Amino acid sequence: MSDDKRKTRSQWFETYWVLVAVLVVATAWLLNLGFGWAQLWAALKADSDETHINAGVFGDMFGAVNALFSGLSIIGIVYAIRQQDQQLKLAREEVKTAQETLKIAIEDADKTKSILEEQQKQLSIQNKSVSLQLFENTFFNIIENIRNNVSEMRYNEESGQTRLNSIKNSFLSTIKFTEDEELIALNLSDMLKRNNITRNNLSSYIKLINTLINFVNEFENENKKIYYDIIASSMSSSEVVIIFYYSILDKTFGRNTLSDFIEQRKLKNVVLYEIKMFEGSS
């Protein structure tokens, strides 16, 4: 039997017995009243001395009824207290049910929060993966453009890396290496002004190298070193020497992209070795 049915049945029994008690009291009162009137009527009809006595007995019989009514009042009070207790019990059960419902709602909210956090985590991983893929596609496309740019360099019979090697040798022979970077920058600037072909060959190449390095600098990833290493390993020794000299020239204009890259990858050692080899072969 369910709790609701038990409550309904209990309440019905309580009401039933209260009605029975009221009915008993009312019946007793009516019977007492009828008996009293019968006694009084008989005494009046007999016209005897017992009339006054019977009238007193008749009045005393109502005292018993009053006692019954007092008992009934007590029953009513007990019933009212019982009803109030039932109401309080129902209120406590409703509060308990509400608390349990709230607890379940909080647990569901926590589960939903955990699910959303996990989804957010997975979405973040996916976004990083997509971002990395897009970055690498662009990164290797720029490297390919740089290789194509080198291949398209021409001067007389020279092309590609052969042309870059000749430019490197002209740098080393024309610009004496010194710790005075301002002097190196001045000599390189004069050389490029006098040699339009060299300047034109290197213009697009240097722009692409700057673009590639800046692209990696702006990428938010903890593994940037890998991409800097790829850039450095893709360069020939001739390219390293040329970029080194251009980095000194760029510094005079406040541009540090190339110089920072040379320093980070410790490429100056490659330049010093090439200078030593060039001077030894001269």
From residue 256, how far is each of 122, 162, 223 by CA, in Å? 38, 28, 21
pLDDT for residue 77: 82
Hey, is 235 helix, strand or coil? coil
CB 58 within 8 A of CB 39: yes
pTM surpassing 0.95?
A: no
What is residue 114's predicted lDDT score, i.e. its pLDDT?
83
Taking CA atoms, 274 is separated from 137, 143, 165, 232, 235, in Å, by: 33, 24, 11, 16, 14
Per-block mean pLDDT, blocks of 10 residues, the chain (282 long): 59 66 69 64 59 55 62 74 82 88 87 84 81 92 94 88 91 87 90 85 92 92 88 92 92 89 90 87 70
What is the domain partition of the chain in residue ranges?
3-117, 152-281
Q: Are strands 154-155 and 158-159 parallel, antiparallel or unpaired?
A: antiparallel
CA distance 133 to 120: 20
CA torsion through residues 101, 105, 108, 114, sign: negative
Give kind and range of the element (H or E) at residue 154.
Answer: strand 154-155
Using CA atoms, how far apart are residues 216 and 224, in angstroms rounded to an integer?
Answer: 7
